[in-house]
Homo-oligomer: A and B are copies of this chain.
Amino acid sequence: MESLSLESIREIADRAEKNVKIPAYPRTVLNIMNAIRYAEDIFWISRYSREPFNLVVEIVKILKEEGYVSYDDGKIRLTERGEKILADTGYEAKIVECDKCRGRRVPLDIISWDVIKDFIEIQKNRPQPIQEYDQGYVTPETTLARVAYMYYRGDLKGKDIIMLGDDDLVSIAIGLTHYARRIAVIDIDTRLTDFISKVSDEYGLNIEILAMDLRKPIPSEIEKKFDVFQTDPLETVPGFRAFVGRGIATLRGERCAGYFYLTLIDSSIDKWRDIQNILVHEFKVVITEIIPDFSEYINWGYF
């Protein structure tokens, strides 16, 4: 028999699911309440809970109505009643990551400090994102960590690398290492590709800008020409299939690699399952690692 506390929590999940049409379980509510132990801001609560943003907003709203949560000066906190019901269920996720690598497994400084310093300076002048194109970019530390991870994994040095979209300026960070054999970038935003071109000329990075429309099939000049691709795909199932499918089409063959970034903020874990089915069953690739919470976006906390 369920405890009264768990029953109340199940009711909240059911109400939220009805309102926003995203699957919600008691565990969803517990994840969100637990996340409020670690963050006061709705974006970070969404990240820590690993639940989709819209569902988090709805559940926090219901938790407030039920007196489990308070908003003060824009800060979300558990009330005494909230603390009590959460303790009653015995639930806790201890959200503490390694403070050295920030849970990314690989130390940033396997790439040289000169690269790190130059990249931090260069990216300060980046064109600011246009809302229509994207939902913001990652912190410079995240971009550098992505490049460090590629180096760790043998997907940087001596490799031909293509970026399908490059809001995050990964091409520049790769270029600064001078480790890649070839770097190519496709992006729809010419302000971005102009910026990358200018930096490439100035620092001698040899980055090629390819003028192509990613909505069309991959042209033969880039088909099977690369060892590694990177993309931050649209987080819809068709968007994912288009970006990552085209990425795979650029690869030479076996033992090549793709890096892409998904959140649990835009995508529910259920959507991840659909995406994994596409990867494993349809594209017939293998997933070698999934590192949660690798990326941090610059606009978090500014909404």
Contact = CB atoms under 8 A, between A and B. Distances in A.
Interface in A252-284: 254-255, 269-270, 272-273, 276-277, 280-281, 284
A237 to B, nearest CB: 14
A98 B107 contact: yes
Interface string A93-110: 111111111011111001
B92 A110 contact: no
Given A255-B27, A276-B280, A280-B280, A96 B287 contact: no
B157 A255 contact: no
Q: For the complex formed by this chain, how many copies does it contain in all?
A: 2
Nearest to A92: B157
A153 B97 CA distance: 11
A104 to B, nearest CB: 8
A101 to B, nearest CB: 4
Contact of A281 (B92, B154, B277): B277
A179 B91 CA distance: 9
Contacts of A104: 98, 105
A195 interface: no
Interface of A: 23, 25-28, 30-31, 34, 89-101, 103-107, 110, 151-154, 157-158, 179, 181, 254-255, 269-270, 272-273, 276-277, 280-281, 284-292
24 contacts: A25-B255, A26-B255, A27-B154, A28-B255, A30-B154, A31-B154, A34-B154, A89-B158, A90-B158, A93-B157, A94-B110, A96-B106, A96-B107, A97-B152, A103-B105, A103-B106, A105-B291, A272-B286, A272-B288, A273-B284, A280-B280, A287-B287, A287-B290, A288-B290
